Amino acid sequence: MSNFFEQVNILFDKAAARLNHPKGLLTQIKAVNSVYHMTFPLKRDDGTIEVIHAYRAEHSHHKSPTKGGIRYTESVGEDEVKALAALMTYKCAIVDVPFGGAKGGVKINKRNYSESEIERITRRMTFELIRKNFIGPGVDVPAPDYATGAKEMAWMFDTYNTISSDLDAIACVTGKPVPLGGVRGREEATGLGVYFGTREACSHADDMTRLGLECGIEGKTFVVQGLGNVGYHSAKFFCEAGAVLVGVAEYEGAISKEDGIDLETLVAYRKETGSIMDFPGATNLPDRLDALYLPCDILIPAALEAQIHKDNVDQVKAKIVAEAANGPLTAAANDRLFERGVLIIPDMYLNAGGVTVSYFEWLKNLSHVRFGRMSNRTDAQAKTEILKTVETLTGKTIDSETFKRIATGADEHALVRSGLEETMIFAYNEIREITNHHGPDVDLRTAAFISAINKVAVSYLSMGIFP
């Protein structure tokens, strides 16, 4: 199997072959501009010293700053961060977010470290990034990723802010706690984006008819791999829309239940027992990957890359694969599923909810004004006047509950969700239109790459670098 970065470039080349851009321009778009490998000592709680390895890759500087998550996992290495940084470049271009792509990580299993050790690792890594100018509001802006969250972002911001005198220091990372400049709606953003994108894909009658499915999410069966932030929130919004969760895979194993698993009950059970296994009413599967092979309408891989490859792809029975994780399908698996008529909603589009809302947070931090603060009351007053006019003209009174619901101005959370929904709908239809233009042999992933390559190429060409 090719390494991860090679897998990304195989898909890039497949799309680039359909375009007429100069070879040198395509080579530049594909290249990783910078990679930084850090090593530093950690004094553990027991007094021993351990050397920690961390990485940060900046793939493209066609837009500034670069943007991408920080993950804590033993798989982190140069190849992985280069591949993920490249995907971030293309992802940002697809959803019209004006960032170059970046990615970083620390090579640890977070379960093996105390919270104080994780804090020391995070702060030291941030210091190393500052030393080499790999972090800053207009330079490179990290965000949460696998096994990281708002707490780690708060530590990174505090470390940067301690050293920097930048007025906009608060914008050096996104995914922060709301009291520290985070934006409402960021926590669930990637999972909500997965839901919005899949819902839009399921709204096209001709595509659903080809799959033998009805339009919409309601009633569809689905399986989720991974109950982290992205997997949990994806499953949550699917369940709220009436979909039926029939299988779950996690670090410790996998379970299935044909008539549906209650997500919140499962989450509470796992919190209590430390495992999803032996969940009442569900069946334990022999291997955690077996959940990927369950019969279902929608499969949501929300864990790590290369989960479905040439050796297991023919066991996948889903009609739709919604890639919530980065790179869960290899290039060979993608081609095989496409040949079988499976609708693959690609990661570089579908999990863009996180970076989209991170963009909103970054804008909020630079403006130093909460979304809705200037307009919320005006919107509410305007709606109130309209409703009162309706009552006067019709002679009917609108009940107080309905009146209050309609007359409420949009707060930050509502505005963020609205912006994310618009972004996901617009981008899906843009890449779907590319598939229609290029013909039935072009899948959504290739179309997404075509969209990204064209947009990045325009940026480079506008600089006058290429003829």
Give the whole-angstrom CA distance, residue 277 versus residue 285: 9
Q: Does 187 lie in the same domain as 149?
A: no
Q: Does 348 lie in the same domain as 463?
A: yes
Q: Does 367 lie in the same domain as 457?
A: yes
In a domain, 21, yes or no: no
Q: Does 194 lie in the same domain as 153?
A: no
Handedness of CA 134, 139, 144, 146 (dihedral sign): negative
pLDDT of amino acid 467: 59
Where in the sequence numbering do the catalytic residues fall?
103
- CATH at residue 260: 3.40.50.720
Q: Does 191 lie in the same domain as 104?
A: no
Q: Does 464 lie in the same domain as 317?
A: yes
Torsion of the alpha carbons at 4, 249, 218 and 356, rounded to the nearest 10: -40
Q: Which domain holds residue 422?
A: 183-375+410-467
Q: Does 268 lie in the same domain as 210?
A: yes
pLDDT of amino acid 466: 66
Q: Does 171 lie in the same domain as 235?
A: no
Q: Does 114 lie in the same domain as 91?
A: yes
Q: Where are the beta strands (DSSP E) in 221-282?
A: 221-225, 244-250, 253-256
pLDDT digits (tens, 9 = 90+) for 178-224: 999 999 988 899 999 999 999 999 999 999 999 999 999 999 999 99
Question: Rounded to whole angstroms, what are the CA distances from 281 to 265, 276, 285, 291?
Answer: 12, 12, 13, 16
Share of the chain above pLDDT 70, in %: 99
pLDDT of amino acid 1: 47
Q: Does 320 lie in the same domain as 192?
A: yes
In a domain, 212, yes or no: yes
In a domain, 2, yes or no: no
Of 132, 151, 180, the residue that ends a domain is 180
- CATH at residue 129: 3.40.50.10860
Spell 178-199 as b/e; 16+ CB within 10 A means b.
beebbbbbbbbbbbbbbbbbbb
In a domain, 132, yes or no: yes
- Number of domains within the chain: 2
C-alpha radius of gyration, the chain, whole number: 23
Given a cut of 50, the residues of the chain with pLDDT beneath it are 1
Q: Does 172 lie in the same domain as 147?
A: yes
Q: Is 341 exposed, middle or buried (0-12, 13-18, 19+ CB in 10 A)?
A: exposed
In a domain, 303, yes or no: yes
Of 180, 205, 221, the residue that ends a domain is 180
Give the whole-angstrom CA distance, residue 391 versus residue 170: 46
pLDDT of amino acid 334: 92
Of 180, 200, 231, the residue that ends a domain is 180
Determine contact, residues 144/229, Cβ cutoff 8 Å: yes
Q: Does 437 lie in the same domain as 422?
A: yes
In a domain, 446, yes or no: yes
For the full predicted model, state whether its pTM sits above 0.85.
yes
In a domain, 22, yes or no: no
In a domain, 381, yes or no: no
Give the whole-angstrom CA distance, residue 278 versus residue 284: 6
Question: What single-letter amino acid sits at 225?
Answer: Q
